Amino acid sequence: MSGDSPVKLSICIPTYNREAYLRNALEYCEGFAFSFPYEIVISDNASTDGTESMVAEFIERGLPIRYFRRAVNGGATPNQINAFQHALGEYTIYLADDDLLIAPEVENVVRYLDENPDVVAAHAPWTIYDEVQDLDLSQFYAVAADRKFERRDFFEMFCFLFEGHIFPEIAIVRSSAMRSAWVPRELCFYAFSHLAHFLDMGAVTFLKTPFYRSVAVSKIAPSRQQAGFDDVVTSWDRYRGGLEYFLHIGAKRGVIDMSDESRIAYDQMCRHFMMVRMGVAIRFWFARKDYIKAYELCARMIFAGHGDNVEVTKVADTLPAMVGLQTLAGKVGAMTGIERLILDGMTDPEMVAELLQDLGVPTEVAIVAEEPEGLSAEALIEGSIVFVSEEARREHYLAKGYRPTVIFSDLDLTQHVLL
């Protein structure tokens, strides 16, 4: 900020115990060369690390920061609201404390809003960014050309969201609209809910060029889990709720047809949107080696008529075996007193053992290809679980005195994995 010039843009950064990430973000901000006055509004959710002193360091260096520290950690939403409500700029943008803005494109969006006073919010896709390699890996949705939706054009906007599978999470918004538009919505995904509010108040534009980078690979901690992962893998009903909320606002304004026929069509569209997102979750769970969750989602998608989804077909051949092994690993880990897992008759016991260890068999449980020698029958039986390669081998272990509940075959573990 300089002199008495009114602030044009407020960059709002909520944070909590993220000193290293926030320092990195502020170092990027030092490179901004906007043609207009701007401010950085930091809301600190009562951090216990060195955030406060670090921010003071950047203020001393001349970065236009206004810092607000909450007395207690009230959760993410109050922290965001605190930042937004302290903003003095004509326009407001949210910036996660580990993400980055593309400054020249931010400048272009501000210019667009100046030239289009009827536009309440300017949305755009964002890139998934590898900070280590300084590389944009991909783009989260695409817009073929800039598109402006007039106030309360809910039908066209809904079709646009549905056809492009668009998540309207990144925008620069007129601060005058934030007071009533940006309000808590927990069960209905906030991005769709807030978009409904913005469109209810004025025109909304989707620009094709990104101005925001979501850092997937950070130079601070390259292997970290990116924020937002939990939403992707579990929040389908909230996504659907957000779309339904969007349609509800449009219906209440009299611009969305709510006849029985239309309701059925909208319901199917919301369900389809959710299923596409569920497919993304399958990919994420599979990559994290949680094959059971991936299978549960596949079952739901197949039932819903989306069995031909590429994420389902891609894992269909390998998923049953991996679900079986993960199930076995869970049973071994859950049972007290187990000292070994016997892999009976496996073609490649070393490979199976490696997979099972990767899937969570406790390190203190030995995975062996055959019964060890030198143990009493009682000690051997009491401390072992057996995984047999063929059903016929079950009788061999039963005859030795092993309990039926500790002898597993592939059929036991996969007979309910149906794809």
Are 322 and 316 within 8 A, CB to CB? Answer: no
Cβ–Cβ < 8 Å for 366, 343: no
342 φ/ψ angles, rounded to the nearest 5 degrees: -95, 125
pLDDT digits (tens, 9 = 90+) for 139-196: 999 999 999 999 999 999 999 999 999 999 999 999 999 999 999 899 999 999 999 9
- Model confidence at 236, pLDDT cuts 50, 70, 90, reads confident
Neighbours of 386 (CB within 10 A): 21
Whether residue 226 has pLDDT greater than 60: no
**C-alpha span between 126 and 325 (Å, rounded):** 38
Element (H, E) at 398: helix 392-400
Say whether pLDDT at 1 is over 50: no
The pLDDT assigned to 234 comes to 74
- Quick: pLDDT tens for 321-333: 999 999 999 999 9
148 - beta bridge partners?
A: 205
Mean pLDDT, range 240-247, rounded to an integer: 97
**pLDDT the model gives residue 315:** 96
**What pLDDT sits at residue 227?**
53
DSSP labels, 277-311: HHHHHHHHHHHTT-HHHHHHHHHHHHHTT-TT-HH
**Residue 256 in 3-state DSSP?**
coil
**Sheet with 100-101, side-by-side order of all strands:** 100-101, 212-217, 126-130, 135-140
Question: Alpha helix locations (H) across 128-259?
Answer: 154-164, 175-181, 190-201, 229-234, 236-252
Do 205 and 116 meet the contact criterion of CB atoms below 8 Å apart? yes
In whole angstroms, what is the distance from residue 195 CA to residue 177 CA?
11
- Which residues fall within 8 angstroms of residue 236, CB to CB, at 6 or more apart? 274, 277, 278, 281
Residues 320-414, CATH architecture: 3-Layer(aba) Sandwich (3.40)
The predicted-structure confidence for 79-111, as pLDDT tens digits, reads as follows 999 999 999 999 999 999 999 999 999 999 999
CB 311 within 8 A of CB 279: yes
Kindly report the backbone phi and psi dihedral angles of residue 43, in degrees, each rounded to the nearest multiple of 5, phi listed first. Answer: -110, 115
Q: Which pair of tokens denotes residue 407?
A: 């002898």
**pLDDT tens, residue by residue, 18-40:** 999 999 999 999 999 999 999 99
pLDDT at 3 exceeding the cut of 60: no
What SS3 class is residue 13?
strand
- Measured CA distances, 208 to 66, 140, 143, 400 (Å): 31, 11, 5, 69
Q: Which two tokens stand for residue 257?
A: 């047809």
Write phi, then psi, for 362 (nearest 5 degrees).
-55, 145
Parallel, antiparallel, or unpaired for β 340-344 and 384-388? Answer: parallel
Q: What is the pLDDT of residue 220?
A: 86
Crossing angle for the helix pair 236-252 and 190-201, to the nearest 10 degrees: 20
CATH number of 9-217: 3.90.550.10
Torsion 179-180-186-189 (CA) sign: negative
Most confident of 82-91, 128-137, 273-282: 82-91
Provide the mean pLDDT of the chain.
94
Residues in Cβ contact with 355 at an 8 Å cutoff, skipping those fewer than 6 apart: 322, 325
- Going from N- to C-terminal start, the domains of the chain cover 9-217, 229-318, 320-414
| 274-294 average pLDDT score | 92
The pLDDT > 70 percentage for the chain reads 96
Ranges of beta strands (E only) in 31-134 are 38-44, 65-69, 91-94, 100-101, 119-123, 126-130
